Chain A
Amino acid sequence: MQQFLKEWLKIRNMHLFFPYLIGTICAILFVIILIQRALRCKKEGTPFINFKGYHFFRENYDKVKLWGSVILFVLYIICLPILHFAWASVIFIFLFNVLFEMKPGKLFEAKSVLISAVIALVSSWGGWYLFFKVFNITLP
């Protein structure tokens, strides 16, 4: 054991020791989880792999809001260095608000859009002023 560790913890390759160790532990645990599942399935008489009736997303999930928020997030990050923090935030916080407020049937409501705009302006520029100007934190 001593010799084994000495070889593994040489400066040249000491950075690999833990990844292999932890990786092995993970692999073992994964196998245990599979066995546990197999045992349970056998006992309950259900098949080991059962895709029937399996949904990754919940039933009738809100496709627009979920995928919309992922896409908006990506665009937001892309725009941050181009438009800089304050402007990018005003635009995207507004869009996020509008997206999340959408209701089936009536997508845009004038009052709700107005509130979205106010929230976007106040939070973005308020945040920009507080963090950048007052706290002197580096922002995009």
Chain B
Amino acid sequence: MFNKKFIASVLVLVLCLTPVASAAVYDGQRVRIVIGSTAVSGDSYMVADIVNRYLQKYLKCSSKVDPIGANEAFATIRTAAPDGMTFMIFHDMTYLGVLFGSYGPEYDLENMVIGPRVGQNPGSCFAAKKNAPYKDMKELAEWLKADPSRTVRLSVELGSVSNLGFVIYYVWLKNTYGEEVANQMRFVLGGSTDTKLQQLWDNNADVIFGDYSSFLQYTADGVDEQLALKYVGILDKVPGREDLPVYGDMGITLDGKPVYFSKDFLIYLPKGTPDEVVAELDEAVAKMQADPDFQSDMAKMTYSGKTLLSKEAKEFIYGKRDSIKKLLSEAPNIEDLE
């Protein structure tokens, strides 16, 4: 019995070590895709999982998504061999971590090779209890202005997209309604979505930040009043949900322009990755974008399958980072608003 197992193992090993003659970099290779989240129920994993399936198809490689968390994913991209066999799929947190000071300058975008954009999630949002006396965050501003003794507690996580959503709203509130109204807003330290929901149910927060899809069930009709939520501000348009209050549509602006912020999921590769690797990824992503199955898979999860090839993706993400950098330089330190 041992012998059979042993021979089988040796055979498999030999098969795997035999190089496959091919011009393509990825053909027949084993690829490791790391993501900056450890949760397999979040948008990072869901996007990476869908993209992984289509990349396998178009790159003809075998690949695996490893949810190792932001810290480990960044470290992996800094140290992995630049042969394209290890890359990261992650959202705006990649540069936000540096902008918020959680990560040092060695993690700057400049120290990575930017690959194509593989998808977007427009659903970052704020939700409040269903019976809250305002229907969206614009009304919330009016509601605060009407009575200076009113306060509202927003629960967000530090140093993440939710922090950004808070800061954008705060700066807009201050510029439009004045500093007093902005200061009626209190910051509550939140954690995972579960923690924030618990804060809301315990009445330790009034408005919580999260992802559109993770709040969806609580906003449906027929949910216990104690649990029921409503969306009060969503950072970008979710396809098929034109009824939701979007930041830009409510008149929330940044630099005078209405805000529409989606999380952009890009492929990030180690510094020094050769151009032909990136070109092959571009090619596969272009095919993926044209695949109607990919588009419907993404749409089913309320994500967008609008991709960008590496060159545009790089320009795009650098531009996005610079505008947010500017915003953060004007914004107060969130820790002072506690």
Contacts and interface: CB of A to CB of B under 8 A. Distances in A.
Interface string A114-140: 000010011001101100010010100
Chain B interface residue count: which class?
A: 10 to 19
A17 to B, nearest CB: 14
Interface of B is mostly: helix
Nearest to A127: B9
Contacts of A103: none
Contacts of A128: 9, 13
A11 B189 contact: yes
A35 to B, nearest CB: 40
A51 to B, nearest CB: 44
B326 interface: no
Interface in A2-27: 10-12
Contacts of A129: 8-9, 12
A125 B2 contact: no
A86 interface: yes
A125 B13 contact: yes
B24 interface: no
A126 B338 contact: no
Interface string B57-69: 0000000101000
A15 B102 CA distance: 14
A10 B338 CA distance: 8
Interface residues of A, number: 14
B100 to A, nearest CB: 13
B2 A138 contact: no
Interface in A91-124: 118, 121-122
Interface string B175-203: 00000000000000100000000000000
Contact of B2 (A12, A122, A133): A122
B32 interface: yes
Given A10-B338, A12-B335, A125 B10 contact: yes
Interface of B: 2, 5-6, 8-10, 12-13, 32, 64, 66, 158, 189, 335, 338
Given A125-B6, A133-B12, A138-B66, 6 more contacts: A11-B158, A11-B338, A125-B10, A126-B9, A129-B8, A136-B64
Which 5 pairs, one residue from A and one from B, show the smallest C-beta to C-beta distance? A125-B9, A11-B335, A129-B9, A122-B2, A138-B66
28 contacts: A10-B335, A10-B338, A11-B158, A11-B189, A11-B335, A11-B338, A12-B335, A86-B13, A118-B2, A121-B6, A122-B2, A122-B5, A122-B6, A125-B6, A125-B9, A125-B10, A125-B13, A126-B5, A126-B6, A128-B13, A129-B8, A129-B9, A129-B12, A133-B12, A136-B64, A138-B32, A138-B64, A138-B66
